[in-house]
Amino acid sequence: MFSLSRKDLVALVVFSAVVLTMPIWLSPLGAAYPGLMQKFAIYAIFAIGFNILFGLTGYLSFGHAAFIGVGSYTTVWSFKLLTMDIVPAMIFAIITTGVFALVIGYFSLRRTGIYFSILTLAFAQMCYSLAYSVLTPITNGETGLLLARDDPRYLDAMLGAQANVAGLPQPTLFGNSVTGYTGFYLCAVVLIIAFFVSQKIFASPFGMALRGIKSNQTRMNYTGFNTKPYMLAAFVISGMFAGLAGGLLSITDPLAGAERMKWTESGNVVLMTILGGVGTLFGPVIGAWLIKYFENIFSAINTNMLNNFFSFVPDGVQSFVVTVLSKFVGEGWHLTLGLMFVLIVVFLPGGLVEGFHRLTARLKRRKAVPDGATSVQPAE
């Protein structure tokens, strides 16, 4: 059950090392903050789950933000009604989102192609509107669902866990705080587990069936293979990953709001997956990290920082360069992201992972050909 091929085991070890050493290699990039690294890990989980549906089956969902929102609301309600321990909250978030995805998937998967995408988008927008207005008693509408000191927390009250708590209680893991670096390593471990599950799905007969559906669903149907249960299972698993990500967002920052269900959040996970590489194990993770880095660090670059960076060039050139580059940083970071997205889609349809494979293949060919030996000469 937990066995992996040698190749996948090496990939898992390398991936775990990269994730657990984030505070070291992100420090020179100015991104070694616990809060930001938590986002790197959480959105990577979101993208890994989305890739199970989009990457393996080719079904493009524009409504996965709804599952993030459901996971977030479920987690906060678990904190308010039961206990501040995160284990029940994560379990409830995954189960609730799975049931929710089952209902949406049942209806959405009755159509394919663009109609499937539009249906998922419609469901997500309905969820956003419900959370924002109709379900205000449950979601607290525009304000968002927050913790309160007088929340019942029946399980904690039974165990006396909140008797001497001052101020608002914080999420805990078996009584230990999960703030700061502890919160990051919690998210990092969950990310590694999510990556492992993704590896198992990719290598399983279930994953092979999903690839067959992506390749030619009509042919599989004609051979008597019922693809619907496989599609629905992939949709539910993908939704549960998103619910887990939503739960972790509320664990690291105990609130839930309707803005997490916006269609832009669904669009972001599509960008993450395509930028990194659809259908690959590492691609969605790389895409998620890249976009979150742009959103949080690259967008903070301002004109003064550019002037200081180009202070070594003559004044006229400095002014020209800073004027041009200032359009691509700060509030204009979306322009840089859009340009990068266009270039990758046009020249690297397989995303950054394809670019890496092309580069390594070229280096191997150059290494295999000795210096001065440009081509094979025929014998005379």
The verdict on residue 124 lying in a domain is yes
The verdict on residue 287 lying in a domain is no
Reported as a single tens digit per residue, the pLDDT across 342-366 is 999 899 888 999 999 899 998 888 8
The verdict on residue 125 lying in a domain is yes
| Structural domain boundaries enclosing 321 | 301-361
Same domain assignment for residues 272 and 355: no
Same domain assignment for residues 18 and 150: yes
Q: How far apart are the first and last CA of the chain?
A: 60
CB of 247 within 8 A of CB of 239?
no
Reported as a single tens digit per residue, the pLDDT across 16-61 is 999 999 999 999 998 999 999 999 999 999 999 999 999 999 999 9
The verdict on residue 234 lying in a domain is yes
71's tokens: 């996971």
Same domain assignment for residues 339 and 241: no
The verdict on residue 367 lying in a domain is no
- The per-residue pLDDT for 164 is 55
Same domain assignment for residues 235 and 348: no
- The per-residue pLDDT for 33 is 92
Same domain assignment for residues 113 and 29: yes
Task: Please give the model's pTM, rounded to 2 decimal places.
Answer: 0.92
Average pLDDT over residues 9-13: 95
- The per-residue pLDDT for 272 is 94
The verdict on residue 145 lying in a domain is yes
CB of 239 within 8 A of CB of 106?
no
Same domain assignment for residues 305 and 276: no
Same domain assignment for residues 243 and 328: no
- Using only C-alpha atoms, what is the Rg of the chain? 23
Same domain assignment for residues 237 and 335: no
Same domain assignment for residues 313 and 226: no
- The per-residue pLDDT for 329 is 85
- Cross-strand partners of 177: 172
**Structural domains of the chain, count:** 2
Distances (CA, A) of 25 to 290, 291, 371: 14, 17, 35
Average pLDDT over residues 86-96: 96
Is residue 128 predicted with pLDDT exceeding 80?
yes
Same domain assignment for residues 92 and 205: yes
| Residues sharing a CB contact under 8 Å with residue 154, sequence separation 6 or more, in sequence order | 81, 82
Same domain assignment for residues 332 and 267: no
**What CATH number does the domain containing 65 carry?**
1.10.3470
Cβ-in-10-Å burial (0-12, 13-18, 19+) of 211 comes to middle
Same domain assignment for residues 258 and 306: no
